[in-house]
């Protein structure tokens, strides 16, 4: 009986050891999530440029005059459409990137580490910000085109401020960058050069997001996500080949 128990315990230990080993992922799958992340970063950059181009509430010529601001917003309908599609694309693509990054870091991070979850959480936070950044875009577009029931000028002015601020809340990407830096530089769970990218751009983005200049995070956050996606997509060959 003791030999049977020993054999059972041995088999259980063997199974546990096998389950604990990192499972190799097909190269195409291992690269796809990362390239999706690069796409999210690119969509974020497009969204920031579209937001910058809408100056109705920031131009001193129109300041304080809600009706003039509304008329001016009508000139930026194509820009607002670009902002809408870009923010919605970033919101969706960031979800895929978050899931892939979590799995990638978990494969090499210490057992039970919080790093994979925190890295994914930062991207999920950014996804929500992108989703909310485009929350009023369709309403303002259709409202500006409506002739029978014109849009309320005060609401249009609020939307002008909204699309110039909320899409820029990329502090979550800064959290992700710093987490990737810790994973790569301290635990060798990611290539070191990717860790340094996360440390520099992630640190800057996080500091911007924590400061009263929080909207400046929109300049560096999308670039960080783009580089992380490209880095894990093309610069993580040792992991994909299992070496």
Report pLDDT digits (tens) over 73-105: 989 999 999 999 999 999 999 999 999 999 999
Give the per-residue SS3 of the chain: CHHHHHHHHHHHHHHHHHHHCCCCCCHHHHHHHHHHHHHHHHHHHHHHHHHHHCCCCCCCCCCCCHHHHHHHHHHHHHHHHHHHHHHHHHHHHHHHHHHHHHHHHHHHCCCCCCHHHHHHHHHHHHHHHHHHHCCCHHHHHHHHHCCCCCCCHHHHHHHHHHHCCHHHCCHHHHHHHHHHHHHHHCCCCCCHHHHHHHHHHHHHHHHHHHCCCHHHHHHHHHHHHHHHHHHHHHCCHHHHCCC
pLDDT at residue 8 above 70? no
Report the pLDDT value the prediction gives residue 11, as an integer from 0 to 100.
52
Question: In this structure, is residue 19 part of a structural domain?
Answer: no
Mean pLDDT, all residues of the chain:
88
Q: What is the pLDDT of residue 19?
A: 45
Residue 168 included in any domain? yes
Q: Is 5 inside any structural domain?
A: no
Classify residue 138: in a domain, yes or no.
Answer: yes
Residue 108 is predicted with a pLDDT of 92
Task: Give the domain extent around 102.
Answer: 28-240
Across residues 121-137, what is the average pLDDT?
96
> Is residue 121 situated within a structural domain?
yes
Q: Read off the pLDDT of residues 155-207 as tens digits, 9 standing for 90 and up.
A: 999 999 999 999 999 999 999 999 999 999 999 999 999 999 999 999 999 99
The reply to whether 6 falls in a domain is: no
> With 80 as the cut, is the pLDDT of residue 146 above it?
no
**pLDDT at residue 230 is higher than 80:** yes
The count of structural domains within the chain is 1
Is pLDDT at 239 greater than 70 in this prediction? yes
112 within domain boundaries: yes
């Amino acid at each position: 009986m003791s030999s049977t128990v020993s054999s059972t315990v041995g088999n259980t230990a063997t199974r546990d050891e096998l389950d604990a080993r990192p499972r190799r992922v097909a190269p195409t799958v291992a690269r796809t999530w990362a390239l999706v992340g690069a796409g999210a970063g690119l969509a974020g950059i497009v969204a920031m440029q579209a937001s910058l181009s809408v100056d109705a509430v920031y131009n001193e010529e129109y300041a304080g005059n809600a009706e003039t601001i509304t008329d001016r917003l009508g000139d930026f309908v194509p820009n607002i459409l670009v902002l809408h599609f870009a923010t919605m694309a970033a919101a969706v693509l960031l979800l895929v990137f978050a899931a892939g990054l979590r799995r990638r870091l978990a494969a090499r991070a210490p057992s039970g580490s919080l790093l994979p979850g925190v890295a994914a959480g930062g991207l999920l936070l950014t996804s929500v910000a992108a989703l909310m950044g485009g929350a009023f875009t369709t309403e303002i577009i259709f409202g500006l085109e409506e002739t029978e029931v014109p849009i309320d000028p005060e609401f249009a002015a609020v939307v002008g401020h909204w699309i110039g601020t909320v899409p820029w809340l990329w502090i979550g990407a800064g959290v992700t960058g710093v987490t990737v830096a810790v994973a790569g530089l301290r635990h060798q769970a990611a290539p070191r050069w990717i860790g340094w990218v996360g440390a520099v751009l992630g640190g800057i983005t996080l500091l911007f997001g924590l400061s009263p200049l929080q909207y400046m995070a929109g300049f560096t956050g999308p670039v960080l996500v783009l580089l992380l996606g490209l880095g894990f997509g093309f610069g993580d060959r040792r992991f994909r080949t299992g070496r």
